[in-house]
Structure 1
């Protein structure tokens, strides 16, 4: 059995408990931004992307699925895997973040997070409260999502939750918050099973804008076996935003374009 077919079998079982991969019907929310594709890069189409970070010219990626979860460093332009480690088959890898030269990786339901140096050498772990979904850093603390509308603020010294923030757009709670990226003082969040990214004010949880990535899958090299949009990374020096998805054959650099008001 080839690797792709094996992943498909694992994915079918996963979807039975985790939900369909189709894009859900989405409420009418006026986007603040559309996008323009600046560059398209190769991406491992066997990677069930759960976390993505661009740091010091290296692309770090955390992948999921039981028996397939990994942490890897890849070369942006070629998609080549420079270095990777596999998680034990009992763990479903989730979001990743880098803070103070240290890399953190969540797991979905095992109640544990892993800590590494930047060469992917394990250096510790911590106890997770609830499910782990997305992770990012505001340069002083870690920020975690758990699939609900709540974001948790984690002190990296104690690895304890020190605060929580409820994410809302007007009176509506925004749940299914997934992968996170901290960009210029705001949190960018994939919303699971949608083509939207919420732009969130960290202190209040208020959604200040939406990014509509509808149609980006049409620019993939192929759509065979792809799953949902997931994965946001930011090159803070060059001001580049990257997005990809689970089992996508490409990773995109995008430019945000203000949405038309008419």
Structure 2
């Protein structure tokens, strides 16, 4: 409720922020046991990272069936979070372990680990930088080869910091982000942190037949070749291709 009040308050700011709804293009099966943390599309397949201790994994999924074609589990004492592609690698982070992983995108076999400070939530690539969210209003930029931090950018809605930035996806130079525990996706200018658009996906969770407080919207993937936008949520039995609608 506090977040919704903050959004309503920030909306009074004169800075123009586009508001969009959505329409469902198509739905696909999704593993309802998956606590979705990260999602991206590459070469005809979805790649998904899931969380929860003892159940975290990174997997290559078949879009039509939702089934894993290949997967690698994380150690049982690690809580998996977001993933992104960097070259021939998948880079993933963990929630409170401060441990990141690298896997071969071809085989999903481990290529090594790295450490970082603070929590890990979502990750994406913006240009040559890996961008990490940690639940705060900041996006952290890293060199993906060394994981040396380069800079931080504060995400602002109408000039005010907006926290709970979660799963990330880069589309046409903008960072799209789920806002945890809400039905909102925001489009962020990675240079300034300013939010350009707010996308309201209210009703999608109910359409998916998901229930429970943990079953929140989370997971954004972009098929750049076919211009398809996919979204899902934690423990959702459906994954959706959607299109933006009624933008104003």
TM-score, structure 2 normalization: 0.92
Instruction: Answer yes or no: is the 8 Å Cα contact 1:24–1:194 preserved in 2.
Output: no
Q: Select the residue among 19, 23, 26 that pairs with 2:4.
A: 26
- Alignment partner of 2:206: what SS? helix
Is 1:170 aligned to residue 158 of structure 2? yes
Aligned positions of 1:197-208 closer than 5 A: 197-208=185-196
1:72 is paired with a residue whose SS is: strand
The answer as to whether partners of 2:18 and 2:196 remain within 8 angstroms in 1 is: no
In 1, the alpha carbon distance for the partners of 2:4 and 2:157 equals: 14
Runs of 5+ consecutive residues of structure 1 not aligned to the other structure:
1-22
> For residues 221-248 of structure 1, what are the alpha-carbon distances to aligned partners after superposition, in whole Å with 9 as ceiling and x for unaligned?
x224561100000001111110000000
**Deviation >4 Å, runs of 4+:** none
2:92 matches 1:105? yes
Alpha-carbon distance in structure 1 between the residues aligned to 2:2 and 2:207: 20
Aligned mate of 1:52, from 24, 39, 50: 39
CA contact (8 A) 1:109 1:131 kept: yes
Q: Please list the CA deviations of residues 178-220 of structure 1 after superposition, one character each: whole Å capped at 9, or x if unmatched.
A: 0000000100000000100010001000001100001112221
Q: Give the aligned partner of residue 90 of structure 1.
A: 77
Q: Distance in 1 between matches of 2:68 and 2:2?
A: 32
Q: What is the TM-score with the length of structure 1 in the denominator?
A: 0.87
The runs of 5 or more residues in structure 2 that have no matched partner are: 12-16
Between stretches 153-162 and 61-70, larger displacement belongs to: 153-162
Where does residue 13 of structure 1 map in the other structure?
A: none
How far does the alpha carbon of each residue in 1:143-182 deviate from its partner, in whole angstroms, 9 at most, with x for none?
Answer: 1000000001110121111111000012210100000000
Distance 1:157 1:93 in 2: 20
Find the counterpart in structure 2 of residue 192 from structure 1: 180
Deviation, structure 1 residue 24: 6.6
- Alpha-carbon RMSD across the aligned residues, in angstroms, is 1.5
Deviation track 1:42-74 (CA, whole Å, cap 9, x = no partner) reads: 000000000001011111000000111111111
Count of aligned pairs between the two proteins: 237
Task: Show the counterpart of 1:238.
Answer: 226
In 2: Cα distance, 1:122 partner to 1:218 partner: 37
Asked if the contact 1:47/1:246 (under 8 Å) is kept, the reply is yes
Q: Deviations over 1:92-121 (max 9, x none)?
A: 000000011210010001111000111211
Within 2, Cα distance between the matches of 1:130 and 1:25? Answer: 22
